[in-house]
Every structure is written in C-alpha cells, then in structure tokens.
Structure 1
Amino acid sequence: MNIKITGTGSYIPNEIQKNEDFNNHQFFNENGSKIEYSNDVIINKFKKITGIEERRYASAQQNTSDLAFLSAQKAIDNANIDPETLDYIIVAHNFGDVDMNTSQADTVPSLAARVKHKLKIENPYCVAYDLLFGCPGWIEGVIHAQSFIKSNMAKRCLVIGAETLSRVVDKHDRDSMIYSDGAGASIIETTKDTGGIISTISASYTLDESNFLFFGKTYNKASNDEKKYIKMHGRKIYEFALNYVPKAMKACLDRTRFDISDVKKILIHQANEKMDEAIVNRFYGLYNEEVPEGIMPMSIQKLGNSSVATIPTLYDLILKQKIDNHQIHKGDILLFASVGAGMNINAFLYQF
C-alpha cells in the first residue's frame, strides 16, 4: 500500500487587487521616514523582484475557515469520498479567522473544528486540529498525515492550507503588496496505486532566525493605530532561504534511489519569483547540473503569496490544467518544498 494525494481542491477569492491599486498608498520605511521614491517606482521595482502583478483578497463576508471549507469540499468531491471516513482534518494557517478591519486572530474553536462543522461530519473520531508552521504549514500537514497513516492511526486525512493575509497587512508597508488570500486542500490516504510520498524532511532554525517574520506596529509613526501587522526582514529571509532551502531539498532527494534528472517538477512556496528562481538554481548547482526548462511552475504572478495556500493551490491548478504549459503525468517525480516563519523549512518527494 502507498500513501498518495487522491483528491485536490482550491479556493481562489474573486476580488482582484492589482499593483496599480496601491498607487494611493503612503509608504514608509521601518524607521518611520517616508520612502523617497514615487509609488510608480516602488511598484515597478516590486514587480521586477517578486513577479507579482496582482493578488486575490477574500470578500468582507468570508474568513479563513470559510476559504478552507470551500477548498476542502472540492478536494472531497475530487477524491469521491464520504467525508465521514476522514480520520483527521489538519488545517494549516498562521493567523486564524480575522474579521475585516481588525487584526485580531480568532482561533477558538480551531479552524479545523469549524471546517469539520461546515462539512457536517458527525463522526467524533474524525480528529480536527490546527497546525501553525509558517508558510510550510501545508507540507508539514502532509507529513503529519503520512505519519498517522504509517503508524496505523489513520487511513485517510484531509490537509488544508488557508490564509487571509490581507487582514493582517500594514498598508503603509510596501511588503504588504506581496500578500494575498486563498486556500488549497488535499486528501491523503492509503491506496493500491503506484507512487505516492517517497521521502520527507523538516527543519526549524530558531537561534538567530526566529524573528525574521514577526508581528509589529505600522510604519506610519504619526498614526494612532495600535494594531500589529505581519512584518519581515526581507533581506535576511532571502539570504536564509538561499543558504538552507536547496540543502534541504537535496537531503530529501538524496534519501531516495532517485536522481535529480528524475525530477519533473518542483513545486515551491510562491513567495518571491526571484528568490524561488535563485533557490532552484542553487539546488541544481549542488549537483553541478543546469536547471531544466519548465521545471518550476509559478502562480505568484496572478495570485500573490497566500502563505500555506500557495503550494496546494498551485498543485490543484496544474492538475486542473489551469497553469499554462505545465502538466503532470503518471509516474512523474515531483519535489515539493517550502520555507517560512519560524524559520521553518520542509520538503517531500512524491511520485504522481
């Protein structure tokens, strides 16, 4: 028996926020000084670095658990299973449900419990819990599910990555343009089909790196706003990711009998186009190999960085043939990898 992803689903909110929609924002540096460049220059530079042209925001009536439920229902339908047969529902997120115009996280009850309620699952032995692991949360949830199944604690799990980052961004911070909302879900279960999860790896770097992503006050010092928003030390994260993510990807692959030439697609957290390209280039450099054309599908241009939702959403879109010039075929070897707050890194090798 193998452990495979047998169903996928994603929910992409309808509200489109284009780069030019940030033209009326007033951006400040971390020290409170006004950024000297015009917004046109700031936005153009942002586009060149991140690749982001637009992003999606949830409607005022939607919350993170709503997006999670909508993606979960699609995954359940795609797998053609009875939700009552689920042993675990694992919801990866970072900020809980955050109502519009607030930045306070609501995590009681857990988002997983809310999803289970919305799915109308009666089975009390379907265990629902939340997972906070930064942007790599969905991959970590898949690793949890695999562990439950391998230890005979479960046969079928639902793993969701969902976030509404638009609710926790400082509109005076240019980094706010990176973030978006969305949800992706997957059914993980035992199957007689070939392939499945081959190897996994996870790591947490916390001595010097734990506060590279953090909650902080607005950069507009003249404001009376006492709320806290998501903040990051972008240069430190970039350097950290380039140093450690390729090594983790290599360690994950080297645990197997497969060669780097066997990898057909790399599905990496969609955080920053230039950073992702640099990570993949350095990964192949560790094997003294050139990066194959079309190895790294991207969704960040139109969807932005939706944290834990980026990879499961990307995977679902590829399978549904909604990413141009990218397909996954039976037997293909895929490498999933992510990095995020913690700082956490993880990866898994998968045969479709």
Structure 2
Amino acid sequence: MIRRSVIAGTGSALPKRRVSNAELAERVETTDEWIVERTGIRFRHIAEEGETTSSLAIEAASKAIAAAGLEPNAIDLIVLATATPDQTFPATATTVQAALGVNDCVAFDVAAVCSGFLYAVQVADSMIRAGAHQRALVIGAETFSRILDWEDRATCVLFGDGAGAVVLEARESEDADAPGILATKLHADGRHNGLLYVDGGPSTTGTVGKLRMKGREVFRHAVVNLAQVMEESLGTAGLTSADVDWVVPHQANARILEATARKLGLAPEKVVVTVDQHANTSAASVPLALDTAVRDGRIRRGDLIVLEAMGGGFTWGAAVVRF
C-alpha cells in the first residue's frame, strides 16, 4: 500500500480593499502602463485596520476545511507559512488554531518567504507519510503591505496581501496513479541574501524593517532556478513536462511565468496566472492561485499539477501533485 498526502480541500482569502494601478499612481510616481509592461500586475488587495495575517489565514483555512467536508477538530496538524506574522511569537498558526476551535493539534509557522508554502507542504507531507498525522492544514498567509516602502516605486507596486490554504489528508492505495503528492524538492542558497531582504529584525535593529530588492538579479535567478527545480521534481516522480496538466507558480511577475514556461516547453495556457489580479502575495500566492483554479473548474480531480516558487534567501522549490 502507498500512503500519500491528498489535497482534500482548498480555500483562499483577500482583504476587502482592491487597489488598481491607477489608484497607486496617485500615491507614488508610476503609471498603469509602466506597471503592466514590467510585471503584468493590474490590481492588488491591501489589508486595512483589523485585517491581519491571522484573520486572512483563518478565512482561507475555514474555506479549505469546508471544501474537504470536515469539521475543524478533524485537523491534527497546522503548518502556516508566512514572513509577516502577527507577532514575533507565538506562532500565528496557534492563533489560527484557537480561532478555528481546534482543541489540540501540532501548530507552528514556517519562514521561507515566497517559497514558504512549498516548504510547509513538504514538512506536512513528510509528517503525514511518517504516520504521525492524518490531516494537515497547510496555509500561506501574508500582509506584505505592512513591510513595504511606499516611497520605493520599484517594490511597492509588486506586492499585495492575501492567504491560501489546503487540507492534506492521508490516504492509502495500491494504485501508483492514485491522487496525492508524488514528489517535492526544496533548495536554499543564503549567499544571495542581499538581493531580496527586509532591512530589520528583532536581533539586529529591533524594528520590523522594510522590503528591499534588486529586481533584475532576482529575475535572472528565478527563471533558472524555477525551471531547474520543476524538472528535478518531475524527474523524481518519473514524469516529464509533457505529463503536466497545470503549473501553479508563485505569482511574482508575469514575465517570470512566461520565461519559465518557455524554458520548460510548456504551453502558456497550462500556467495558472493570477498575478494580474492579486500581485505578489509571497507565501500566499501558490495556494491562492491553486484555489482560484480549482473553484473556477480549470483544475479537476485526476489532473497532474506542479506547484513552484522562489523567494528571498534565496529559497525555492516545487511539488508534483496528482489532484
């Protein structure tokens, strides 16, 4: 028998306030044309007072649990990926746990920035396959607007807030083509810290800090690393890009998505794109895009999907999943 982690349900959440490029241009020196041409972004959602990383995570998690046909107490593991937690500690995952009314489960955060959701998926999958847990709630949630420098037009136009979640459930089957996570691959290279980082922290400045990025260098690394890790994960699963029904990528920049697809020889219509509507929501972007494509009917049971992301650190990874 093969024990796998199956995606039993998905969910997502966005702040109420939707900000267009035109509205942003009233705040910083930019234009709709400039942003669309360089990034493909047209809108982003920005958290207002009372909206937090945990509140978005709770909404996304509730929807995922409902989609799985479960009650919250069926969850015995919560792994939340975020670079913008509510507090330095305790983990935002425990805030989600309490709000959902889960009486007792393992709950912790994972910090790998935009790759955080992929890291969280591998952690949860490993714990499920080891037999330690039966059902895991894996969440990516961010309020990146709180760490943006709104005077820096090169970065503040790129990001938005949101959350996405999946319920992973242990299932056993003798069928090698049964649904579940087939392979995951993660990487990190701390030598590139200075290309994408936040200039603050508890042990250095004692402040939260603001996001800083050298966009051109990040773009170059992203295209190479993402194509490589996708091929690597497919190879581990004994598959090729020709077997893929959908790629659900980190929604950082439309040009990165297009370049990565070309490098793998994938048709553009096989790539789920939400960056135009949500901008870069960091760890939330992959599960948010996944939930969007599941709910609009594009991704169906039996489809082979590849999830991928790269973020500050650098960290990057991919997961091959039979949905």
> Same fold, TM exceeding 0.5?
yes
> Which residue number corresponds to residue 47 of structure 1?
36
Letter in 2 for 1:300: V
Distance, in Å, in 2 between the alignment partners of 1:313 and 1:213 is: 22
Q: Does 1:315 align with 2:299?
A: no
> Which residue number corresponds to residue 186 of structure 1?
166
For 1:147-226, list aligned pairs within 5 A. 147-174=126-153, 175-192=155-172, 194-207=178-191, 209-216=192-199
> Which residue number corresponds to residue 113 of structure 1?
94
**Number of matched pairs:** 310
Distance, in Å, in 2 between the alignment partners of 1:22 and 1:86 is: 40
Partner SS state of residue 48, structure 2: coil
Partner SS state of residue 77, structure 1: helix
Q: Does 1:282 align with 2:259?
A: no
Q: 1:63: Cα distance to partner?
A: 0.8
Q: 1:172: Cα distance to partner?
A: 0.7
Distance, in Å, in 1 between the alignment partners of 2:52 and 2:88 is: 12
> Which residue number corresponds to residue 227 of structure 2?
246
Distance, in Å, in 2 between the alignment partners of 1:122 and 1:265 is: 36
Distance, in Å, in 1 between the alignment partners of 2:36 and 2:244 is: 29
Partner SS state of residue 136, structure 1: helix
Partner SS state of residue 210, structure 1: helix
Partner SS state of residue 146, structure 2: helix
Aligned sequence identity (%): 29
Letter in 2 for 1:14: K
> Which residue number corresponds to residue 69 of structure 1?
58
1:196-248 deviations in whole A, cap 9, x for unaligned?
A: 111110000112x122111239xxxxxxxx97311111111001112221111
Partner SS state of residue 210, structure 2: strand
1:21-46 deviations in whole A, cap 9, x for unaligned?
A: 1223345xxxxxxxxxxx33xx4222
Contact 2:308–2:318 at 8 Å: present in 1 too?
yes
Distance, in Å, in 2 between the alignment partners of 1:258 and 1:216 is: 41
Q: Does 1:18 align with 2:2?
A: no
Gaps of 5+ in 2: 201-206
Gaps of 5+ in 1: 28-38, 98-105, 218-225, 285-290
Distance, in Å, in 2 between the alignment partners of 1:156 and 1:4 is: 9
Distance, in Å, in 2 between the alignment partners of 1:203 and 1:251 is: 11
Distance, in Å, in 2 between the alignment partners of 1:228 and 1:142 is: 28
Distance, in Å, in 1 between the alignment partners of 2:120 and 2:89 is: 20
Letter in 2 for 1:270: Q
Contact 2:261–2:268 at 8 Å: present in 1 too?
no
Q: Does 1:234 align with 2:219?
A: no
Q: 1:141: Cα distance to partner?
A: 0.8
Distance, in Å, in 1 between the alignment partners of 2:59 and 2:299 is: 24
Quickly say closer, same or farther: Cα 1:195–1:227, change in 2 above 3 A.
closer
> Which residue number corresponds to residue 294 of structure 1?
269
- Consecutive aligned runs of 4 or more in structure 1 exceeding 6 Å deviation: none
TM-score by length of 2: 0.92
341-350 or 226-235, which deviates more: 226-235
Letter in 2 for 1:252: S
Partner SS state of residue 55, structure 1: strand
226-235 or 291-300, which deviates more: 226-235
Structure with higher Rg: it is 1
Contact 2:294–2:300 at 8 Å: present in 1 too?
no
Distance, in Å, in 2 between the alignment partners of 1:116 and 1:168 is: 25
Q: Which structure features the higher share of helix residues?
A: 2
Contact 2:193–2:312 at 8 Å: present in 1 too?
yes
Letter in 2 for 1:138: F
Letter in 1 for 2:278: L
Contact 2:197–2:313 at 8 Å: present in 1 too?
no
1:157-210 deviations in whole A, cap 9, x for unaligned?
A: 100000011111111111101110100011011125722111110000112x12
2:10 paired residue among 8, 19, 41: 8
For 1:25-36, list aligned pairs within 5 A. 25-27=27-29
1:332 paired residue among 303, 306, 314: 303
Distance, in Å, in 1 between the alignment partners of 2:120 and 2:220 is: 26
1:83 paired residue among 72, 75, 84: 72
Q: 1:119: Cα distance to partner?
A: 0.8
1:305 paired residue among 241, 263, 280: 280
> Which residue number corresponds to residue 248 of structure 2?
267
TM-score by length of 1: 0.84
Q: 1:151: Cα distance to partner?
A: 1.1
